[in-house]
């Protein structure tokens, strides 16, 4: 796909969980709102649809994304899809995970494959949630998603390891609700996305 031109009518849907929704951000922007504001500052006329839902798993996103995207991405606009899920899959319910690894990978593959047939698609990996054992599972899931993304040819930004290693992220989560960051942590993620070389509306500095 050619690089998007500034101006025009760019519409983008973000699907995922509470980290997409921006839970615990006192500014109510989260990383998604900050990414959208940065795109406007780059000169892009962007309509942003934040479709993050607290507690959503890969199964939940897989079941709902298509209908929600079709209802919002109208004809005549430049359309984009972004997914960020998986952290809730790694939550334990008794002896089991909410979504076992094999099923999580299957949801990822089906969702991303179908999405790419409709519109340009990007995937941001699952976020850590401040609990060491679960975060270890999330780091592994992030790596497995990356493998699947490479096989499917979709651009994927793995964030779990970098966030877990960031003192800014850890301190901001600890000062918030112990699971989600506040404004500083979401700004950190927004900066990562805006500097991502595969991002459509990236800043001048990329990695």
Domain of 87, in residue numbers: 7-194
Spatial separation of the C-alpha atoms in residues 204 and 186, rounded to whole Å: 20
Residue 199 counted as domain residue: no
Residue 66 counted as domain residue: yes
Residue 84 counted as domain residue: yes
Of 197, 111, 119, residue with least CA distance to 148: 111
DSSP-assigned states of every residue in 113-158: HHHHHHS-EEEEPPPP-S-HHHHHHHHHHHHHHHHHHHHHT-EEE-
Tokens encoding 62 = 């897989």
- Residue 195's Cβ-count burial label (10 Å; 0-12, 13-18, 19+) is middle
Tokens 């699907």 locate to: 15
The pLDDT, as a whole number, for residue 76 is 82
Q: Which of 5-9, 25-29, 179-183 has the lowest mean pLDDT?
A: 5-9
The count of domains in the chain is 1
- CATH code of the domain covering residue 175: 3.40.50.1110
Residue 54 counted as domain residue: yes
* pTM more than 0.85: yes
The pLDDT, as a whole number, for residue 206 is 37
The pLDDT, as a whole number, for residue 2 is 60
Residue range 54-96, pLDDT digits in tens: 999 999 999 999 999 999 998 888 999 999 999 999 999 888 9
Q: DSSP 3-state assignment of 111?
A: helix
Give me the residues paired with residue 182 across strands. Answer: none
The pLDDT, as a whole number, for residue 85 is 98
Tokens 């990007």 locate to: 122
């Amino acid at each position: 796909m050619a690089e998007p031109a500034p101006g025009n009518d760019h519409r983008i849907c973000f699907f995922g969980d509470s980290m997409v929704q921006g839970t615990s951000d006192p500014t109510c922007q989260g990383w998604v709102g900050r990414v959208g504001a940065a795109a406007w500052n780059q000169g892009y006329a962007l309509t942003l649809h934040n479709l993050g839902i607290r507690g959503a798993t890969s199964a939940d996103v897989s079941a709902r994304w298509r209908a929600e995207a079709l209802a919002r991405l109208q004809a005549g606009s430049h359309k984009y899809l972004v997914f960020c899920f998986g952290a809730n899959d790694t939550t334990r319910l008794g002896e089991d995970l909410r979504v076992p690894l094999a099923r999580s990978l299957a949801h990822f593959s089906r969702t991303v494959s179908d999405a790419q047939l409709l519109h340009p698609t990007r995937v941001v990996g699952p976020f850590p949630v401040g609990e060491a054992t679960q975060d270890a599972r999330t780091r592994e899931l992030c790596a497995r998603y990356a493998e699947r993304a490479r096989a499917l040819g979709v651009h994927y930004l793995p964030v779990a390891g970098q966030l877990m290693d960031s003192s800014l992220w850890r301190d901001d989560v600890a000062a918030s609700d112990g699971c989600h960051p506040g404004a500083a942590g979401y700004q950190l993620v927004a900066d990562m996305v805006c500097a991502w070389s595969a991002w459509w509306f990236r800043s001048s500095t990329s990695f």
